[in-house]
């Protein structure tokens, strides 16, 4: 993909996702993720209905009429997007690849964050840390994040969620809003997840394809493992093979849901050929 094509794709994603963040998600994002607390802003004259506990007695005594302290939410937060770019994210049987859906959701979250004057960072991972962009504010920063989501070519195709979580624990010392976007085709990451879940506001967004869950009966077909590159000749006419394929998917789906729940983290599941707006809105409203 040349530079002109990349810029066109960045612009297309910006238009779509910024519209969503401006008109739909920005307010929900703000109400779902609170700031660090309330900070003093100013004093003003007392008005009917004001809480008498906020009266500033020193100013009241000086002017011989009641004044109250005004507080505002200390809003600035940090959003970190952890995005799986391993080989399995380049799978998709309808509409688009899983990675395309990951990119759109990540962009929507990023624009929602900067609408609320929050910082946004990006962590791209496979079975290693492929790229880390420290959190910053601003539209140009978010456009860089989108560009990396579109064009970055990983060195590896495998997945190691534990390593990504351990890296996060090392670089993010203060509490952050963390969204991990992946198909979660991995296991044995519960310990690392619990450590992250205790410190950060963590949500896992699982992106899946309809044929991740069930393989159709197509007879004898060559299937390429996206993470190893190996080709296997599979007899999809075999009920046992189709049953084992579905059982493997269900095992990883259940592990994801139970592990995130035990870690106090939120979960969202999105199929890559369906609209993700309702799932995100529903999650924010119930958070």
pLDDT tens for the chain, residues 1 to 287: 555 665 576 667 666 666 666 655 555 665 656 555 555 557 888 888 888 888 889 888 988 899 888 765 555 789 999 999 998 887 766 668 888 899 989 988 988 888 888 899 999 999 999 999 999 998 899 999 999 998 899 999 999 999 999 999 999 988 899 999 999 999 999 999 999 999 999 999 999 988 888 888 888 878 777 777 788 888 888 889 889 989 989 999 999 999 999 999 999 999 988 888 888 888 887 76
Q: What is the DSSP string of 206-217?
A: EEE-HHHH----
Nearest CA among 229, 210, 232, 213 for reference residue 221: 232
In order of start, what are the domains of the chain with their CATH numbers? 3-32+76-286 (3.40.50.410), 37-74 (no CATH)
Helix axes 3-20, 139-151, angle to 10 degrees: 120
The phi, psi pair for 134, rounded to 5°, reads -60, 150
**Dist. CA 67–CA 46, nearest whole Å:** 5
């Amino acid at each position: 993909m040349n530079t002109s094509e990349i810029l066109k794709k960045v612009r297309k994603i910006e238009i779509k996702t910024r519209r969503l963040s401006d008109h739909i998600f920005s307010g929900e994002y703000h109400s779902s993720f609170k700031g660090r607390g309330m900070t003093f802003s100013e004093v003003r004259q007392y008005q009917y209905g004001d809480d008498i506990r906020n009266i500033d007695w020193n100013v009241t005594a000086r002017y011989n009429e009641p004044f109250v302290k005004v507080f505002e939410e200390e809003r600035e937060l940090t959003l970190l997007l952890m995005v799986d770019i391993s080989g399995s994210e380049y799978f998709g049987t309808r509409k688009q690849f899983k990675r395309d859906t990951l990119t759109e959701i990540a962009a929507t979250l990023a624009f929602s964050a900067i609408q609320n004057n929050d910082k946004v960072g990006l962590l791209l991972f496979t079975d290693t840390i492929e790229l880390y962009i420290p959190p910053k504010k601003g539209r140009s920063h978010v456009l860089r994040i989108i560009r990396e989501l579109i064009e970055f070519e990983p060195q590896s195709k495998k997945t190691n969620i534990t390593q990504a979580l351990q890296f996060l624990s090392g670089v993010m010392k203060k509490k952050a809003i963390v969204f991990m976007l992946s198909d979660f085709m991995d296991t044995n990451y519960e310990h690392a997840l619990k450590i992250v879940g205790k410190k950060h506001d963590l949500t896992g967004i699982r992106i899946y394809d309809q044929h991740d869950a069930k393989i159709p009966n197509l007879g004898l077909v060559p299937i390429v493992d996206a993470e190893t590159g190996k080709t296997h000749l599979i007899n999809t006419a075999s009920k046992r093979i189709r049953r084992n394929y579905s059982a493997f998917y269900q095992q990883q789906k259940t592990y994801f849901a139970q592990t995130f729940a035990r870690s106090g983290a939120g979960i969202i599941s999105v199929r890559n050929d369906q609209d993700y707006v309702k799932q995100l809105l529903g999650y924010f409203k119930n958070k």
